[in-house]
Every structure is written in C-alpha cells, then in structure tokens.
Amino acid sequence: MAKVLDSKIPAGPVPEKWKEYKAHQRLVNPKNKLKLDVIVVGTGLAGASAAASLGEMGFNVINLCIQDSPRRAHSIAAQGGINAAKCYQNDGDSVYRLFYDTVKGGDYRAREANVYRLAEVSNNIIDQCVAQGVPFAREYGGMLANRSFGGAQVSRTFYAKGQTGQQLLLGAYSSLSCQVKAGKVKLYTRYEMEDVVIVDGRARGIIAKNLVTGKLERFSANAVVIATGGYGNTYFLSTNAMGCNCTAAVQCYRKGAFFANPSYVQIHPTCIPVHGDKQSKLTLMSESLRNDGRIWVPKKIEDAKALQAGTKQGWEIPEEDRDYYLERRYPAFGNLVPRDVASRAAKERCDKGFGVNNTGLAVFLDFSESINRLGIDVIMQRYGNLFEMYEEITDVFPGDVANEINGVKYYKPMMIYPAIHYTMGGIWVDYELQTTIPGLFAIGECNFSDHGANRLGASALMQGLADGYFVLPYTIQNYLADQAVWPKVSTDLPEFDAAEKAVDAELDRLLNIKGKRSVDSIHKELGHIMWEYVGMGRTAEGLKTGLKKMHELEKEFDTNLFVPGTKEGLNVELDKAIHLRDFFTMGQLVAFDALSRNESCGGHFREEYQTEEGEAKRDDENYFYVGCWEYKGKGVEPELSKEPLEYEAIKVQTRNYKN
C-alpha cells in the first residue's frame, strides 16, 4: 500500500518557515552536557561540514570515508563555483531571486520550502568559508568576485579559480581536523559502510568494512547520517570520480528508506566527448566556461561533414557560417541556459548531422570572441587551469590562435558533448533531512531535497554545505532530543549480528561465483544500456527494453562474475563488485521511475512528451509530485508513493529562457 509521507514542513508562508522552525529547537547547544553519538558516513563537502559542525556543537561524531583522507572525497572535483545571494554585483540579486531561479531551474519539481531555506542560508556559507580562509577569487578592490552560471541572469557564483570544490573542502577539512584534535570527531578513513543496522525501527548503527584489512566492523550511535554522494556512476562513464558509488544509499533503500525521483539525472552539456571504448572516465569542462565561451556548430551540413571527415577545422569556418544555436534559440539566456536545455539542444544538432568531430557527437565551445575582446591574459586568469586540463587530454590549447579571416583572429575551439554528471534524485528526506527510517538522515548529493528535476550550476556545493553547516546540525536535534535519555545500543545486539552475517555472506557469494567476466566488463555493459535506454532521450518502449536487458545482465553478474583474491586484506575488485551489485538496483530504479513518469521535466526527457520546438512538456495535472519508491525485493518492481508538491510563493508555469 502506498504510504502518505509527512514532509514535516512547518505551517505558514514560505519565507517565515525556517525562522519559525529555528525558534522551535528543542535541544540547543548540548556542548559538554549530553553524551550523544552520531555516525556521519562521508567526508565530502556535506559530510565533512556536518561532522565538523556536530563535533563543534558537542556531539561525539564517528566519521567514515572510503578514501585515505577526507580531502580526497569526490567534492574536490568541483570546479566552477558556489552560489549565494549576496548581490555583491548590485545586479538585483536577492534571496527570493535565488529561490525563484532554483525552483524554475528544477522545472517546478522541487519542494518549495526547502529551496527557500537553501537560498536563505546561502549567504552564511560564504561568510563561514571566508572565515575558514577559503581563497575565493577577489576583484582588484578586494571584494569577492562573482561569475554567472546557467539559469540565472545575475552574477552570484563565488569561485576559487577552477578548483572551488577543493578549496571549500580544505576549509571544511580544517574545521573537521580541529574537532578531531578536540576529541569530538573520530575519523575512520578507508572504511566503507556496507549496511545500516535497525533496532526497534530506528537506525542505531552501521556495519562497515575496513578496506585495508577486509574486516567487518560494527559501529553504534544515537543517529546515522549518510553523506555518500550521488549515483552517476551507474552509467559507467560519467564525470564522477571512479570511487563514487551508491552502496550506502541503496543499502538504506533496501532496509526501508524511500528513494525519491531516481529518474532525475543530470546530463552536463560541456564535457570532453567520448573518444573510444577503452575509456573509463569522462572529463567535465566547467560550466563557468560558458560565461565567455560561445557554443556553435556549422550552419551548412557540408561544413559539418568536412569536419567529421577531418578535411576541415573549426577555425576555418568564418563567423557568418557558424550557428550559435543557443543564442539563436534562447536570446535571453544564450549560452547560459540551464544544463538540461543546453544538453538537449546539443543532442538535437548532432542528431540532425551537425556534430563536429569524427563521431559526429560534439559541438564547439569557442573563446575567439572573448579573447579578442578581453585579451588572452584575462581569459587565462579566469580559466587557465581548465585550458591546461583540456590541452593535457586532447593536445589542443584553446588559447592558441589558429587562423585570421578578414582581420578577425580565430582561436582553436574546445569540443564538448553532454555526459552524465549529477543525480538530483536521492534518498527521500523530510524537511528535517530525516529519511523514512527514524534516526537515519541523508545530506548532500545523496538526498533528493532541493534541485527538483534539474540542478542549476554551482548549487550542489551550496546545498551540500547548507545541509552540513546550517541545516542538519539544527534539525537532527529534534530527533536527538528524544534520544537524550536513551543509552547508546550495544553492538552485541542480535540485529548487529544479523546485519554483519548478511554482509559477510554477500562477500562470500560474490567471491564464489568464480565465473569468467570482470566487474568492469559487466559495468561497462550496464553503462551502455543505461545511456542507450535510460539516458538523454527516453521512451516507454526503450525503458522496457532497458529494464529487460538490465535483468539479463544482472543474471550474468550473478552467475558469471569473476572476483580474484579473498575477503581478507585489500581487495579492490571485491569492493567494485559490491558497488556494481548496487548499481544494478539503482539502474532499474531509475528506469522504473522514468517509465512511471509520463511527462518530460528537467533532466527527465521522455521523447513522447515534447513541444513542437523539442522542449520538455510537463504534465502538472498528473505528475506534480515527488515519486518515492519503496524496495520490495530483488527483481521485484518497487512500490511508488507520492509526496504531493505544494507551491505557495511561486506560480507554477512553463519554463521560458527565450525572453
């Protein structure tokens, strides 16, 4: 039976909700008074900021990550920046405007109250990070600098060259280290959570694998927080770090946590195109490049064919023969339309034969105009490390002048194509970031909370740090207030025994299949199925085929997998096999959700539901809800519950980036 979900949003008009909420905290500043333990799984921006804040507030925190240092969490990959409504540019920005842009960018599928809270705390994040010493870019006069990201007509993105995530993570890590030194946070690196332990219906601990010794260990606490990132690697090729996985989230889902909106997967328009079948990773070229880079394909099909054949180069095509298709189709936002819109537009051009590389699956991102206008030094100051990264991978330096036509200099353009990048779906959480399992919280990319069907650029770091520094430390107290009189449960309880035995049995099962195929070969095949049938353009028929193929491949995984080595000691292949087992569950979940949502919205594009101009066609009458899935067993269709969306402050309308 589908359940009714309580989002716990306090009553009252949206802008008042968070204030009212804070006023109702029941357990304020427990510093040194209460002995309450919290497990935080993950040390990315969400996990590290939450662990540091909870430690500072006086909780005893157990913090785990799979890397050898918290500083190596996937969050360091974030390049472009972090949004906040400071309005330093005097361009009319405000908390309301950031709130509005985020809801609109998410194609009106986000929970309105959560997004308002996010916009409201965005400014605190910048202050917090500046205080930690994060070296944000500054103007000549000392003010923090800003640039623009997609879906906004103001400049509100704070950045540290092209390495914003790394600098923010170093800030969070220094706070975390203070708490480690103070004895409030105990850090476990190279540990992977394999299961959540439920005692009397509440999350009371986890089973984790020491990735170096291979031993399973038990941890108990008064609450468990997962901050374990997204599930983009289900598609095998993505911009996510190789280690990103959804094991913790999927295991929570198997144990009863609902999974929300899994079909909302973000495909980023500016990635280096796939160049062969030996590739295991795709590289993002930051969205910030769209501030100064212009996206185009040739106007003439014969030019496109010559580019594909390698008989012509992009810089030989003069200005009048270039189709800046985003500027043409979306004059108001131009190259800065949101990612889902830009990705679909690139696909549309390539599908029509205008792709510019040998596979026909690429478009140009060109800096000629901005270098001619601003000079190469300014462009290098803004994007130097991204240009160098592009050169290292492709051997083309986008700052090299290559041609001059009628006195205009043409520089070597980048080639880009959409790739899997971010997952808006995630574990369902209420307004307090608590999942459907009491005592289990989810923050950062692994929850579904704030981005609706499409995330705007530079908003993931904002959400992760909002959750970690400013939301969870307040909201978790409502749960912990009732726990203050509860002793921490013993890890000798039968529930811990059973969970550990089940994990151990799974490790044995995977090792004993002793088939012929490597984890990567099966994962790559899963990725192909996902991209082909559950990717940028989906149809009911394709999704059904995809599900069938996934079931068949999962059988192959269960019967013909080969994992070398043993459970004892380091066994990376075994760890990857566990991740792949969970990518199968996730892939099917994405397909089920996509199949059930007979509309197009944001990153979920069902080809049957599009306007004449090829834009996503929503169906608010029937699909204005959060789709929340409940696990019903392996190979069994999960059950859908719905959280209806309620909008008070924003009028729900069709997105328009044209004028």
User: Which DSSP state fits 244?
Assistant: -
Tell me how far apart the alpha carbons of residues 144 and 30 are, in angstroms, rounded to a whole number: 35
Give the strands of the sheet with 216-220, arranged side by side.
191-199, 202-210, 216-220
> Taking the mean position of all CA atoms in its chain, how far away is CA 297?
29
In the bound state with ligand FAD, the residue whose beta carbon lies nearer, of 442 and 595, is 442
Active site residues: 339
For residue 122, give the nearest of 84, 80, 164, 169 by alpha carbon.
84
Using DSSP bridges, classify how beta strands 223-226 and 37-41 pair: parallel, antiparallel or unpaired.
Answer: parallel
Distance of CA 526 to the CA centre of its chain: 20
Using the minimum distance from each CB to ligand FAD, give the nearer residue, 444 or 638. Answer: 444
Nearer to ligand FAD, 355 or 444 (CB): 444
Is the CB of residue 400 less than 8 Å from the CB of residue 411? yes
Q: How far is the CB of 386 from ligand FAD (least distance, A)?
A: 11
Q: In this complex, which beta carbon is closest to ligand FAD, that of residue 229 or of residue 314?
A: 229
Least separation in angstroms between residue 177's CB and ligand FAD is 15
CB of 620 to ligand FAD, least distance (A): 27
Q: Whose Cβ is closer to ligand FAD: residue 193's or residue 591's?
A: 193
As beta bridge partners, residue 157 has 83, 147
| Cβ 196 to ligand FAD shortest distance, Å | 10
Closer to ligand FAD at the Cβ: 78 or 304? 78
Cβ count near 247 (within 10 Å)? 24
Tokens describing residue 341: 């819109």
Nearer to ligand FAD, 172 or 529 (CB): 172
Long-range contacts of 376-380 (CB under 8 A, 24+ apart): 379/292
Residue with tokens 């087992």: 581
Q: How is residue 607 written in tokens?
A: 């080809």
Beta carbon of residue 168, minimum distance to ligand FAD (angstroms, whole number): 9
Largest CA distance in the chain: 80
Residues 6 or more apart whose CB falls under 8 angstroms from that of 498 comprise none
Residue 464: CB minimum distance to ligand FAD, A = 4
Q: What is the DSSP secondary-structure string of 275-299?
A: --TT-----B--GGGGGT-EEEEES
Nearer to ligand FAD, 235 or 315 (CB): 235
Alpha-carbon distance of 238 to 206, in angstroms, equals 29
> Measuring CA to CA, how many Å separate 481 from each of 50, 72, 204, 474, 484?
18, 34, 15, 11, 5
Cβ closest to ligand FAD, residue 285 vs residue 304: 285
Residues that bind ligand FAD (CB under 6 A): 41-47, 64-67, 73-75, 77-82, 164-165, 191-193, 227-229, 239-240, 244-245, 247-248, 284, 421-422, 444-446, 458-461, 464
**What is the number of the residue whose Cβ is closest to ligand FAD?**
44
CB 536 to ligand FAD: min, Å: 17
Q: How far is the CB of 46 from ligand FAD (least distance, A)?
A: 3
239 CA to centre of own chain: 10
Find the shortest distance in angstroms from Cβ 382 to ligand FAD.
Answer: 14
Which string of DSSP letters, residue by residue, matches 589-644? HHHHHHHH--S-BTTB-BTTSB-TTS-B---HHHH-EEEEEE---TTSPPEEEEEE
Pinpoint the alpha helices (H) of 260-403.
Answer: 301-309, 325-329, 339-351, 368-374, 376-394
CA torsion, ordered 410, 289, 266, 331, to nearest 10 deg = -70
Query: Which of 307/563 has CB closer to ligand FAD?
Result: 563
Determine how many CB atoms are found less than 10 A away from the CB of residue 87. 18
Work out how close the CB of 352 gets to ligand FAD at its nearest, in angstroms, rounded to a whole number. Answer: 28
d(CA 363, CA 327) in angstroms, rounded, equals 14
d(Cα 416, Cα 342) in Å, to the nearest integer? Answer: 12
